[in-house]
């Protein structure tokens, strides 16, 4: 094998080839290392939602009393980065609009509308709202706890019937694409309106538009949403059972999110400096006690060695010996 004899060739061969950045991927070793590095940096930021952070805040009485590790933060960041890469979207935008509800990822309705408007295939999303109809009093039942006993409580709500439909113009064909019609009656029948804390009772016009946009996106552009539902749809899917009289019975315990076990609470009256000072003082006392015990042990060992030496140097008794 011939060796390079020219100086330029020798200099070129001695230089290591430049390293290229490996694309983020879940299927290759170098790509997975790269996506973990990016996810670790994002997990340490306070600008990402709580479910993506490496640490979550521990609050007591509205005050932050400490932090606890979030084991799912880094894996959630990796999943969000993978989705952003496949969609060609900004990772921070995906993380700000992707919610994890009971283990199921879902988009915010604002993200769905923005994805449809910016994809380039359709005209801007528009809505057709019907005129307000008659006001109807809706009765429903909720299960609540009174004196530690489950009790069915009847409630009433005044709703005004309206309908909404989302539509766009397909740019390639010029055809108008209409989404499914969403109505207040649909919200009543599906149990969305009677859900505990439902926004359908307080913001019906906004919820009608959000639901209409979500249905249109899932029907005509599912690749933009990657088959995921909107956050409002996931939160509204409940087990509402009809009682035969046109009412719906809902169990409140099934609607409430289970809170984690309360962590150990730090006394708010104790200053952090005082806590640090007390910890340092305790550490110093422990060190002093250990040093005293060590010194005492060394003294005892020294006395034992001294006594042994004196015994060894004591002259032997030769009174009983006889010389020949």
Confidence category of residue 269, pLDDT binned at 50, 70, 90:
very low
At 161 the pLDDT is 92
> What is the model's pLDDT at position 263?
44
What is the predicted pLDDT for the residue at 258? 44
Q: Which of 194-198, 230-234, 252-256 has the highest mean pLDDT?
A: 194-198
Listing DSSP states for 283-322 in one string gives HHHHHHHHHHHHHHHHHHHHHHHHHHHHHHHSPP--TT--
pLDDT of residue 217: 92
Least confident stretch, 23-27, 28-32, 181-185, 198-202: 23-27
Asked if 193 contacts 182 with a C-beta cutoff of 8 angstroms, the reply is no
The mean pLDDT of the chain is 74
**Where is 110: in which H helix or E strand?**
helix 109-118
Q: According to the model, what pLDDT value does residue 199 have?
A: 86
Q: What pLDDT, on the 0 to 100 scale, is given for residue 237?
A: 52
Instruction: Please report how the helices 109-118 and 204-220 are oriented relative to each other, as an axis angle in degrees rounded to 10.
Output: 50
Which DSSP letter does residue 202 get?
T
How does pLDDT run across 116-162, given as a tens digit for each residue? 998 899 999 999 999 988 888 887 777 777 887 878 788 888 888 99
- What mean pLDDT is predicted for residues 202-229? 87
Residue 259 has pLDDT above 70, yes or no: no
- pLDDT bin (cut points 50, 70, 90) of residue 285 is low
What pLDDT score was predicted for residue 255?
Answer: 46
Mean pLDDT throughout 197-226?
Answer: 89
For 165-184, how does the pLDDT look when each residue is reduced to its tens digit (9 = 90+)? 999 999 999 999 999 999 99
Separation of alpha carbons 183 and 177, rounded Å: 19
Model pTM? Answer: 0.58
Give percent above pLDDT 90 in the chain.
27
Contact 215, 208 (CB under 8 A): no
Mean pLDDT of 287-296: 58
Could you tell me the pLDDT band of residue 40, with boundaries at 50, 70 and 90?
very high
In this predicted model, which residue has the larger pLDDT, 6 or 256? 6
pLDDT at res. 195 = 77
For residue 62, the model assigns a pLDDT of 73
CA distance 248 to 189: 9
Q: Which range is least confidently modeled, 42-46, 80-84, 145-149? A: 145-149
């Amino acid at each position: 094998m011939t060796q390079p004899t020219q100086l330029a060739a020798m200099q070129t061969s001695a230089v290591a080839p430049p390293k290229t950045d490996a694309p983020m991927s879940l299927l290759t070793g170098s790509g997975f290392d790269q996506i973990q590095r990016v996810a670790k940096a994002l997990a340490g930021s306070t600008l990402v939602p709580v479910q993506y952070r490496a640490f979550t805040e521990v609050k007591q009485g509205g005050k932050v009393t400490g932090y606890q590790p979030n084991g799912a933060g880094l894996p959630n960041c990796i999943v969000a980065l993978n989705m952003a890469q496949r969609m060609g979207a900004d990772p921070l935008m995906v993380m700000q609009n992707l919610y994890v509800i009971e283990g199921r990822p879902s988009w915010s309705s604002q993200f769905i509308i923005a994805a449809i408007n910016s994809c380039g295939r359709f005209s801007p999303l528009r809505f057709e709202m019907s005129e307000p109809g008659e006001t109807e009093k809706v009765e429903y039942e909720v299960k609540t706890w009174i004196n530690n006993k489950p009790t069915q409580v009847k409630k009433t709500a005044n709703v005004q019937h309206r309908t909404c439909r989302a539509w766009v113009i397909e740019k390639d064909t010029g055809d108008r694409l209409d989404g499914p019609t969403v109505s207040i009656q649909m919200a009543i029948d599906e149990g969305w309106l009677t859900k505990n804390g439902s926004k359908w009772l307080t913001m019906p016009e906004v919820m009608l538009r959000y639901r209409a946009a979500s249905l249109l996106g899932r029907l005509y552009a599912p690749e933009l949403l990657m088959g995921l539902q909107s956050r409002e749809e996931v939160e509204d899917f409940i087990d509402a059972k009809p009682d035969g009289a046109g009412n719906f019975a809902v169990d409140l315990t099934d609607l409430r999110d289970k809170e984690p076990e309360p962590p150990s609470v730090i006394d708010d009256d104790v200053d952090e400096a005082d806590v640090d000072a007390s910890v340092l003082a305790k550490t110093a006392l422990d060190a002093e006690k250990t040093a005293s015990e060590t010194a005492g042990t060394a003294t005892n060992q020294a006395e034992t060695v001294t006594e042994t030496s004196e015994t060894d140097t004591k002259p032997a008794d030769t009174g009983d010996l006889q010389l020949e």
